[in-house]
Structure 1
Amino acid sequence: MNHDFLNSALWSGFAYASGWRQTKAGTIQVIDPSNGADIASVGFGGPEDIARAAKEAKAAQKSWAATVPAERAKILNRAADLLEEHGAELADWIVRESGSIHPKAMIEIEHGALFIRHAATLATASSGTFLPGMDERTNYARRVPHGVVGVISPFNFPLVLSVRSIAPALALGNTVVHKPDPRTPISGGIIIARIFEEAGLPQGVLHVIPGGADAGEALCTDPHVAMISFTGSSRGGSKVGELCGKHLKKVQLELGGKNALILLDDVDIDIAASNAAWGAFMHQGQICMATGLILAQSGIADALADRLATRASHLPVGDPSSNQVALGPIISDAQVVSIQAIVDDALEKGAKLLAGGTHDGRFYKATVLAGVKPGMRAFEEEIFGPVACIATFDTDEEAVELANHSDYGLAAGVITNNMGRAMKIGDQLNVGQLHINDQTVNGGPYAPFGGRGKSGNGSRMGGPADIEEFTQWQWVSVKQAATPYPF
């Protein structure tokens, strides 16, 4: 591996907080989930480290917000350039640390740069509007930064799911304290710190401190932090939302999903199976947008299940650094146990196992379950593993009912040759993202991304939503001179 840009001698044992520093909470070893080997050592933050970073970020915020917007944009674009220039080297770290296959790691590099470049355009976007008045004064409203934004990101797409919050927050004049998942602190943190450091971001504007639950709680309760942007599990998001509500902070929650892909009886079976396989098995199913429930109309269900099982059986599982596999490792042993328990529950309740259902350590085979029904954990719960769950329906109305059965509301897909039928179904689905003639794993910097119900608090990030999330309105009224009142 080429260590030129991400030379660990610079950051080994450190976090990034007004430069590379030791943390009060010590260090942690970063482990390759494929083989248990040590990758590196990074600084590990606790509440004291978060408090110091938040205070320094608060002190740096006013001058950063006063920086000419074009200069903020220039720094962000330079960071995107660096990410692309060193993409091959940085992708290797993503593979080793998160268990990603190489093409998925390169998607993170490509999309990460796009998110940063989109954010750069926000720095110079129009940020206000004139308002009608009731007297001679001038009234206008402008968007102003919150101040310090805390970002908490997960392990599965660590680079993209960090920069999609960090970059727009910075572009719009906020400073950031970022807590990446301690299992992926390099992909989700060190890489980001390095590109912004080299791009010329002033010290104190971005702090990157890997940490556990106590660090996350400290970020949510710190008085210097005005907003939290959280991506992770519904359980974790509920805790974050509770803390932010108690401390009157703005909170953005992007959580899990049990995303339905509806396959109508006029589809091309091979194309449908391809979409279902990609949505269910991409990155071992460890994606909030993963196709968690495949709803196949009765007339095609058996053929679809057979084709999907064939595809699953041909997907090799193993160490992604070999570049010979389609699926890498599950992130932890505990997650493997959780996946297996959900599969076993489905089989005990009458589902049929058509492929997979077993694992070798953290390497879980692509799995296909047919005959999945409400009441089975495989129907109800987000699995976060490579398990395709097939349920059947007879009518379009039943498809809508089954898709909306979930407490989640992130993404859905409808595949059919009848566009009118697809749109009628789609209009009835309670989701934040609807994909006609596509599977559920879609994302990018230009669309407002988020969900409802257990998938989030209705907030969005990306595209036009970024300004709404990372700034707030300020009303300004101007009189030419003060005038008396009757008191």
Structure 2
Amino acid sequence: MLNYNGYIEKLSEEAAETYALMNPHTKEEIIRIPECRGEQMEQAISRAEDGFEKVRYMTAFERSEILDKVSQIVSGHKRIFAETVAKEAGKPMKYALGEVDRTVQTLKFSAIEARKLEGESIPLDAAPNGAGRDAYTIFEPIGVIGAITPFNFPLNLVVHKVGPAIAAGNAIIVKPAEKTPLSAILLREALVEAGLPEDAYLVVTGDGPRLGEVLLNSKAIKKVTFTGSPEVGREIKSQAGLKKVTLELGNNSALYIDQSQKTRVDDIAKQAVTGSFSYNGQVCISTQRIYVHEQIIDEFIDLFKQETEKLVYGDPLDETTDLSNLIDEPSQERLLEWIEEAKQLGASVVAGSLQVEGGLEPTILKDVPREAKIYKEEAFGPVVIINTVRNSEEAINSINHSQYGLNAGVFTNNMKQALQFGHELNVGQVLINDLPTLRFDHMPYGGRKNSGYGYEGVKYAIQEMVNRKMISLNYKF
């Protein structure tokens, strides 16, 4: 039976201490997690170098087969993976099951891309004195990759780093969030069962700053890929030196709905409620700012409120649950403070705003000023703002008035306006007639401004985990 206990026991043998991993909803202890020391990370790096020497010489076919097989293993153990996510992250089962489905797809895409890493031919005779030479490029794995992952998608965001790394022939060490290490370990056990060399993917648990510093200082680590806060991301980039870096950071996704959608307001409101409150809004691309044309604002708010009031708060393991406790008490306290500040600055509460056990009622605020923290910062909780705009120009200005730039959504039937938004929004991905919360696991995914540096999405992540080499043949020598 696939489980994480054996790996945790091995880590614990060398760890000086352990800490209690708590279920965010029940506040009950799940298991004791090793608080690994810097020496353990150094040992893991040394082991991963050995793992790299094995995986780098595997054929693309062999790596692809392993990734395809592990996708089947994860699918076959879907319930175990989903329950692990639900328990350690407090994620409602309906969303935990969806995360497992996405993980399977990410692994399948990784298996496909492992066979498609192709170079190009270069006509050197296009340059003076280049005649008589054929040239082409190949891609080679870079070595050992260090990955630091967040709590909110403890399985699929790990796979978005692990899958491409293995597809390209690299080894990888994952330092998962302290609150959610079990999913990453369970994935490792599945990969080893699928045939991956033991040391090609390792998980090291414990304090992020301490272990992350070892990754950054190690000459053996050739790339660091991080998903988390802009503050930590900037620190990583400043210390990474010549290492490759990919950073997926903060965001407060915006959505615009124009007057051409009057006949579809009901459907859009239902979608937007899901985009705003799935997993308590603890999603990087959660819909946080909604701008609605003045001609349909009142109808939209009424419908949005009605759908919001249907959401069910409860135990994450209950598949009827929509919302549960937030990941921790500081998150709850911060959101309550931000809501109160917005009210003091003139915002109105349409629904919610009250504490529920360790969570928060799904909260709708309207007429929120730009200086409010809930407007300009990343909420990472079940809070959404709805503001009125008079036209598309005002909507573009409002969406772009942000330190972040990851996803934005636009609902419009006006093709010219859709193209205008596509070109003028300063974000990494513009989704026309879709929510900004939409993500497919093979699409390019990267932010601007404080939202990040570099791209994920399987093919695009692989391209940042390889070195390009050109080989020239002088056949006239």
Q: Is TM (by shorter chain) over 0.5?
A: yes
1:297-345 deviations in Å (ceiling 9; x for gaps) = 1122222222222222221222212334211211011111111111111
Match of 2:372 in 1: 376
Check conservation: 2:2, 2:190, Cα contact below 8 A. no
Check conservation: 2:167, 2:462, Cα contact below 8 A. no
1:59-89 deviations in Å (ceiling 9; x for gaps) = 3313311112211111111111110000012
Is 1:466–2:461 an aligned residue pair? Answer: yes
Match of 1:96 in 2: 87
Of 100, 124, 128, which aligns to 1:109? 100
Check conservation: 1:14, 1:42, Cα contact below 8 A. no
> 1:201: Cα distance to partner?
0.9
> Residues 469 and 98 (structure 1 numbering): CA distance in 2 closer, same or farther, change over 3 Å?
same
1:417-458 deviations in Å (ceiling 9; x for gaps) = 33332222232111111111111112222211111111101x
Larger CA deviation: 68-77 vs 403-412 = 68-77
Match of 1:201 in 2: 196
Match of 1:411 in 2: 407
The residue type paired with residue 252 of structure 1 is T
Q: The residue matched to 2:221 in structure 1 has which SS? A: coil
Match of 2:187 in 1: 192
Match of 1:18 in 2: none
Check conservation: 2:410, 2:435, Cα contact below 8 A. yes
Check conservation: 1:14, 1:27, Cα contact below 8 A. no
Check conservation: 1:24, 1:48, Cα contact below 8 A. no
Of 392, 400, 416, which aligns to 1:420? 416
1:136-185 deviations in Å (ceiling 9; x for gaps) = 34322211111111111100011000001111101111100111111000
Match of 2:37 in 1: 46
Check conservation: 1:115, 1:444, Cα contact below 8 A. no
> 1:373: Cα distance to partner?
2.0
Structure 1 segments unaligned to the other structure (5+ residues)? 16-20
Q: The residue matched to 2:425 in structure 1 has which SS? A: coil
Q: The residue matched to 1:448 in structure 2 has which SS? A: coil
Could you tell me the TM-score, scaled by structure 1's length?
0.93
The residue type paired with residue 322 of structure 2 is A
Is 1:254–2:254 an aligned residue pair? Answer: no
Match of 2:127 in 1: none
Match of 1:362 in 2: 358
Q: The residue matched to 1:127 in structure 2 has which SS? A: coil
> Residues 112 and 23 (structure 1 numbering): CA distance in 2 closer, same or farther, change over 3 Å?
farther
Q: The residue matched to 1:375 in structure 2 has which SS? A: coil
Larger CA deviation: 400-409 vs 68-77 = 68-77
The residue type paired with residue 81 of structure 1 is Q
Could you tell me the TM-score, scaled by structure 2's length?
0.94
Larger CA deviation: 294-303 vs 327-336 = 294-303
Distance 2:123 2:13 in 1: 53
> 1:465: Cα distance to partner?
1.1
> 1:479: Cα distance to partner?
4.2
Match of 1:122 in 2: 113
Q: The residue matched to 1:204 in structure 2 has which SS? A: helix
Match of 2:25 in 1: 34
For 1:436-451, what aligned pairs fall within 5 Å after superposition? 436-451=432-447
Larger CA deviation: 87-96 vs 53-62 = 53-62
For 1:78-477, what aligned pairs fall within 5 Å after superposition? 78-133=69-124, 134-187=130-183, 189-212=184-207, 213-244=209-240, 247-267=241-261, 268-457=264-453, 459-477=454-472
Distance 1:151 1:280 in 2: 28
> 1:14: Cα distance to partner?
3.9
Match of 2:57 in 1: 66
Distance 1:298 1:31 in 2: 46
Check conservation: 1:284, 1:328, Cα contact below 8 A. yes
Distance 2:334 2:214 in 1: 28
Distance 1:426 1:64 in 2: 41
Distance 1:264 1:123 in 2: 42
Check conservation: 2:280, 2:382, Cα contact below 8 A. yes
The residue type paired with residue 97 of structure 2 is M
> 1:25: Cα distance to partner?
4.3
Distance 1:405 1:353 in 2: 23
Please list every run of at least 4 consecutive aligned residues from structure 1 whose deviation after the TM superposition is greater than 6 angstroms: none
Check conservation: 1:25, 1:49, Cα contact below 8 A. no
Distance 1:297 1:118 in 2: 39
Distance 1:299 1:422 in 2: 18
Distance 1:207 1:27 in 2: 18
Q: The residue matched to 1:320 in structure 2 has which SS? A: coil
Distance 2:75 2:81 in 1: 9
Distance 1:98 1:411 in 2: 24
Check conservation: 2:113, 2:458, Cα contact below 8 A. no
Match of 1:5 in 2: 2
Check conservation: 1:353, 1:370, Cα contact below 8 A. yes
Distance 1:37 1:198 in 2: 30
The residue type paired with residue 6 of structure 1 is N
1:8-38 deviations in Å (ceiling 9; x for gaps) = 3x234444xxxxx634343222110001101
> 1:130: Cα distance to partner?
1.9
> Residues 351 and 84 (structure 1 numbering): CA distance in 2 closer, same or farther, change over 3 Å?
same
Q: The residue matched to 1:282 in structure 2 has which SS? A: helix
Check conservation: 2:4, 2:186, Cα contact below 8 A. no
> 1:45: Cα distance to partner?
2.3
Distance 1:474 1:29 in 2: 47
Q: The residue matched to 1:327 in structure 2 has which SS? A: coil
The residue type paired with residue 247 of structure 2 is L
> 1:195: Cα distance to partner?
0.6
Larger CA deviation: 421-430 vs 287-296 = 421-430
The residue type paired with residue 210 of structure 2 is D
Larger CA deviation: 414-423 vs 359-368 = 414-423
